[in-house]
């Protein structure tokens, strides 16, 4: 009983440390934004911009500092936990710095950020043995076992892909943070179920850091995660997923973390295919047809046409809950069926079919009416004037 109380106190300390630091650093950055505006502000112009006023996009800094303090707390409380935590944080530095440099200079291309993610994944494989041992696919698993180099390369590619996918869905207030928090919760649950204390501690630290940021990001959008925050969160999620499978072979199927992360991952794969083969454009170029953008344009019709700042911000924030629901359509069955590999595979296939069907309905202006959120401009007073339909 004493041991359980000690472990609970350690885990709670890790969560609170990350939460409080992230929360306070966000406050400091928001309050002093006039001092760093030249470097940190994200303007509101661009095909993938849906906010109104210039906003600090360095929310990755409080997230990193929160997780860093949580790592120090874990090191003081439990050496074994702290070692794994420290290795993951050390490995994350290349991708975090690449993202932060982009946030401050706007001059780091997606290719260089992706290469930084690959570098971080390689470091994690070297420092902590973060290598996928299998994929749950006959033939491919045999290949990974007899050719370790292939397993390393595939793991590096997969981790880099998850980093990029989390960055892609970072488009509206609360969207990325809510999805990351949900995925982290699912990984924490299975880590607890298999008795993996180090992974559970990392999950709680990431959850605390994200929650501290989310308080200021949703619904008001007072600070954005930026590339540093999105890539850091994506890297930690990817490594937690890999380690969960690698440390518990035969217990945790690789299809569990895949299903948990399938929304951002498939969004990335689908977007690449759509741009390259349907629109005949470079996959690296931005466009306005991502799934979350179509939800904003076709479903969130709240006060469409208004240029009032409060209305635009409200419409932005109303988009995220739709996408949280999309993520939960995969996370929920993953949690319920995490021990049954064939059920996880079937659930992944059903999610892909459902995603494509809904996307087609949205892009062809046939959105289900029951899902459309409306509030018209008729007789809505704004200042001295009155908006009419």
Task: Reduce the secondary structure of the chain to three states and give it as a string.
Answer: CHHHHHHHHHHHHHHHHHHHHHHHHHHHHHHCHHHHHHHHEECCCCCCCCCCCCEECCCHHHHHHHHHHHHHHHHHHCHHHHHHHHHHHHHHHHHHHHHHHHHHHCCCCHHHHHHHHHHHHHHHHHHHCCCCCCCCCCCHHHHHHHCHHHHHHHHHHHHHHHHHHHHHCCCCCCHHHHHHHHHHHHHHHHHHHCCCHHHHHHHHHHHHHHHHHHHHHCCCCCCCCHHHHHHHHHHHHHHHHHHHHHCCCCCCCCHHHHHHCHHHHHHHHHHHHHHHHHCCCCCCCCCCCCHHHHHHHHHEEECCCCCCHHHHHHHHHCCHHHHHHHHHHHHHHHHHCCCCHHHHHHHHHHHHHHHHHHHHHHHCCCCCHHHCEEECCCCEEECCEEECC
Nearest-angstrom CA–CA distance, 79 and 283: 44
According to the model, what pLDDT value does residue 46 have? 47
Domain for residue 380, yes or no?
A: no
Domain membership of residue 38 as a residue range: 2-273
According to the model, what pLDDT value does residue 389 have? 40
Domain for residue 345, yes or no?
A: no
How many separate domains does the chain show?
A: 1
According to the model, what pLDDT value does residue 383 have? 46
Domain for residue 308, yes or no?
A: no
Domain for residue 258, yes or no?
A: yes
According to the model, what pLDDT value does residue 45 have? 52
Sequence-distant (6+) residues with CB within 8 A of 110 are: 164, 284
Q: What's the pTM? A: 0.92
According to the model, what pLDDT value does residue 277 have? 86
Domain for residue 370, yes or no?
A: no
From first to last of its 389 residues, the chain has per-residue pLDDT tens of 666 777 888 899 999 999 999 999 999 999 999 888 888 887 655 444 455 678 899 999 999 999 999 999 988 877 677 788 899 999 999 999 999 999 999 889 888 999 999 999 999 999 988 899 889 888 888 888 898 999 999 999 999 999 999 999 998 999 999 999 999 999 999 999 999 999 999 999 999 999 999 999 999 899 999 999 999 999 999 999 999 999 999 899 999 999 999 999 999 999 999 988 888 888 877 788 899 999 999 999 877 777 787 788 888 999 999 999 999 999 999 999 999 999 999 999 999 999 999 999 999 999 988 888 887 665 555 544 444 44
According to the model, what pLDDT value does residue 287 have? 82
According to the model, what pLDDT value does residue 139 have? 84
According to the model, what pLDDT value does residue 52 have? 62
Domain for residue 334, yes or no?
A: no
Domain for residue 194, yes or no?
A: yes
Domain for residue 373, yes or no?
A: no
Q: What angle do CA 234, 238, 239 make, to 5 degrees?
A: 120
Sequence-distant (6+) residues with CB within 8 A of 217 are: 59, 173, 174, 177, 223, 224, 225
């Amino acid at each position: 009983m004493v041991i359980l109380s000690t472990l609970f106190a350690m885990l709670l300390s890790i969560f609170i440390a990350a939460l409080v630091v992230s929360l306070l650093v966000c406050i400091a950055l928001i309050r002093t934004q006039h001092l760093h505006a030249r470097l940190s502000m994200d303007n509101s112009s661009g095909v993938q911009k849906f906010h109104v006023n210039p906003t600090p996009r360095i929310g990755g800094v409080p997230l990193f500092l929160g997780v860093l303090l949580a790592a120090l707390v874990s090191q003081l409380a439990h050496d074994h936990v702290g070692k794994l935590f420290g290795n993951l944080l050390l490995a994350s530095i290349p991708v975090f710095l690449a993202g932060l440099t982009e946030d401050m200079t706007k001059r780091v291309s997606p290719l260089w950020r992706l290469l930084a993610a690959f570098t971080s994944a390689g470091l994690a494989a070297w420092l902590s043995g973060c290598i996928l041992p299998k994929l749950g696919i006959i033939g491919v698993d045999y290949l990974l076992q007899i050719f370790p180099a292939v397993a390393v390369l595939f793991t590096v590619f997969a981790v880099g892909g998850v980093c990029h996918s989390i960055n892609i869905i970072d488009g509206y207030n609360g969207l990325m943070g809510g999805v990351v928090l949900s995925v982290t919760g699912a990984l924490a649950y299975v880590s607890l179920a298999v008795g993996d204390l180090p992974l559970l501690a990392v999950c709680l630290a990431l959850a605390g850091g994200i929650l501290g940021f989310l308080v200021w990001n949703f619904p008001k959008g007072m600070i954005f995660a930026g590339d540093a925050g999105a890539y850091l969160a994506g890297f930690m999620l990817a490594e937690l997923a890999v380690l969960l499978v690698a440390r518990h072979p035969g217990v945790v199927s690789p299809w569990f973390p895949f299903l948990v992360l399938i929304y951002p991952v498939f969004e990335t794969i689908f977007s690449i295919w759509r741009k390259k083969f349907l629109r005949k454009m470079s996959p690296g170029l931005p466009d306005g047809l991502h799934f979350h953008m179509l939800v904003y344009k076709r479903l969130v019709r709240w006060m469409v046409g208004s240029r009032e700042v409060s209305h635009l911000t409200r419409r932005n924030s109303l988009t995220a809950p739709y996408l949280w629901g999309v993520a939960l359509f995969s996370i929920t069955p993953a949690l319920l069926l995490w021990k049954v590999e064939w059920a996880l595979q079937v659930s992944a296939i059903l999610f892909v079919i459902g995603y494509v069907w809904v996307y087609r309905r949205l892009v062809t202006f046939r959105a289900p009416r029951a899902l459309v959120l409306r509030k018209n401009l008729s007789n809505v007073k704004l200042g001295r004037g009155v908006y009419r339909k």
